[in-house]
Chain A
């Protein structure tokens, strides 16, 4: 956590560079009538759902199934997020609803 300001700046610029590359690549690669390589286009469609799966897994990486509370607060809250989103399809409601349940669960249910 204790990054120096220079390290933080490099970090921020690295995130920005990754985002910028994804934006500028079509304009650099697409010259004249040569179409964008089909492999790149394929990955552009396939990676976002796959990356989202990685980010979900990342959210649970430090949760232990073997120790109390056996990932129950996380499972409960994730269930709330999914249920809210399937019924209401309102992203903000799903996010805040699930987070509220999680914070309450940590304080009052699984103490």
Chain B
């Protein structure tokens, strides 16, 4: 008897939190999936097999850094550079953990997945909405994360499948990547206090490119960027 009651509570816990999370996540899914499709198309158009494309989305699950890794992977074997690039692009995640520490403490078996698949959308939805207090916050956050993860990996599969059908002249399609970065850049500098950081990044990147040349400038650019950012900390020079 007891056992049945317990199972039923467990099942409804999952179900109710799903019904709470789904409508909250739905509005952001189309653009997330469209971006994932774009990634799948670009990867396959760049000559990578669909297995690698989907694998990347499944194990890295980090939008921008995945796009940034495409030209890097086309340039040759540079995993250390890839690791550093990915960590620095994803450094915004450092913020996300703190407000979620409490929720995650109670997550038990779900915790590793929730940390592994932590993302902008899940963070924003989870922190900006207050679900019904009767619904488990842990399960709510889990479902938001799971839905965004499924959307991203599923969208990548679609894109990789579509990419294989594209056989015509795709010259210039890779500009989508630059366009994406320009958009992200514009989004970043909408906050006034971020313009200084963007300016430092721009100067460091151009200086490194001019001195080192396009083949190996990225690590030097990131290194002087970190030094300049730390050096400029707290100073008001713009």
A binds B: yes
A-B contacts counted at CB < 8 A amount to 268
| A14 in contact with B202 (CB, 8 Å) | no
* Residue in B76, B79, B175, B179 whose Cβ sees the most chain A Cβ within 10 Å: B179
| A39 in contact with B87 (CB, 8 Å) | no
| B177 in contact with A16 (CB, 8 Å) | no
Distance, CA A36 to CA B77, complexed state (A) = 34
Chain A residue contacts of B182, Cβ below 8 A: 56, 59, 78, 81-82, 85, 94, 98
Chain B residue contacts of A81, Cβ below 8 A: 179, 182-183
| From B78, B92, B118, contact of A48 by CB (8 A) | B92
| B59 in contact with A22 (CB, 8 Å) | no
Interface majority SS (helix, strand, loop, mixed), chain A: helix
Chain A residue contacts of B86, Cβ below 8 A: 14-19, 22
Chain A residue contacts of B118, Cβ below 8 A: 23
| A48 in contact with B91 (CB, 8 Å) | yes
| From A11, A21, A36, A74, contact of B79 by CB (8 A) | A11
| B172 in contact with A12 (CB, 8 Å) | no
Chain B residue contacts of A102, Cβ below 8 A: 172, 175, 179
Known interface pairs A45-B95, A92-B35, A106-B171; A52-B201 also in contact (CB < 8 Å) = yes
| From B52, B97, B116, B199, contact of A30 by CB (8 A) | B97
| B204 in contact with A50 (CB, 8 Å) | yes
Within 1-33 of A, Cβ neighbours of B (below 8 Å) are at 1, 3, 7-8, 10-27, 30
Taking the closest CB of chain A, its distance from the CB of B76, in whole angstroms, is 7
Distance, CA A107 to CA B201, complexed state (A) = 33
Chain A residue contacts of B96, Cβ below 8 A: 23, 26
Interface majority SS (helix, strand, loop, mixed), chain B: helix
Which of under 10, 10 to 19, 20 to 34, or 35 or more describes the interface residues of B? 35 or more
Known: A8-B48, A56-B185, A81-B182. 13 other contacts (CB 8 A): A18-B86, A18-B87, A18-B88, A24-B115, A36-B94, A43-B94, A47-B197, A50-B200, A54-B201, A57-B206, A58-B68, A77-B175, A96-B176
Identify the 10 closest CB pairs spanning chains A and B, nearest first.
Answer: A26-B97, A50-B201, A18-B86, A59-B178, A53-B201, A44-B94, A14-B79, A18-B87, A22-B90, A49-B188
Report 6 cross-chain contacts, Cβ distance below 8 Å, ordered by A residue. A3-B77, A15-B66, A19-B86, A19-B90, A56-B181, A74-B178
